[in-house]
Chains A and B, each alone.
Chain A
């Protein structure tokens, strides 16, 4: 199994631009999570899906952030418009209902 695959690994964008982060969960995993890691706030859960349905998005910082899971093998996290304070490492994780497996993350820099 290739594990949880995130793309891109690194993203540098200008303030105001739209950014889309992508995640392919492990096949057969029915839960998917988006986390954000920053020096100031550590690891925070942004949103999670169960069977492609968003269950809890209380961690999404504001309306500029949106996440979708159109099918069981793909999810996106979109930031529009991006701001410098969105700079962080964004992790996707998937779970079959128990332990989560994490992707390698996307390092986002907004300048």
Chain B
């Protein structure tokens, strides 16, 4: 079985401040991990993914995440928040390899608010 836990359903940061969104996973096999972003009334857009190789992955819009197997974590960070980053962010996991039909198990989401 696989699952993800996102700590904090709401995170608020000031513009220019560090963004840190937390995600911990549980998987019986090496996981593939993803972060998606959802803007209001829109679908899900892939921010970044970890499959194999380098554990620090860079995504779009200046976001990056680090896969830490020892901590079973895949936290999302951005050095400097921008107002346009305000959205809901979802961490997701699938079985290692593209087995299981790439079924994604999502976390409950973190709503990011960026304040002036």
Contact = CB atoms under 8 A, between A and B. Distances in A.
B101 A50 contact: yes
B104 interface: yes
Interface string B85-98: 00000100000001
Interface string A38-68: 0000111100101000011000000000000
Contact of B103 (A42, A45, A104, A105): A45
Interface stretch (B17-25, B40-48, B74-82): B40-48
Main secondary structure of the interface of A (DSSP, over half): strand
Interface string A81-96: 0000000000101010
Given A31-B101, A95-B102, A42 B108 contact: yes
Interface size, B (range) = 10 to 19
Contacts of B109: 42-43
Contact of B101 (A43, A56, A91): A56
A31 B102 contact: yes
B101 A55 contact: yes
Interface in B20-62: 36, 41-46, 49
A98 B36 CA distance: 15
B102 A43 contact: no
Contacts of B98: 97-98
Given A42-B108, A43-B90, A99 B102 contact: yes
Given A42-B106, A45-B105, 17 more contacts: A31-B102, A35-B104, A42-B108, A43-B104, A45-B103, A48-B101, A55-B101, A95-B101, A97-B98, A98-B98, A98-B102, A99-B102, A102-B36, A102-B44, A104-B42, A104-B43, A107-B41
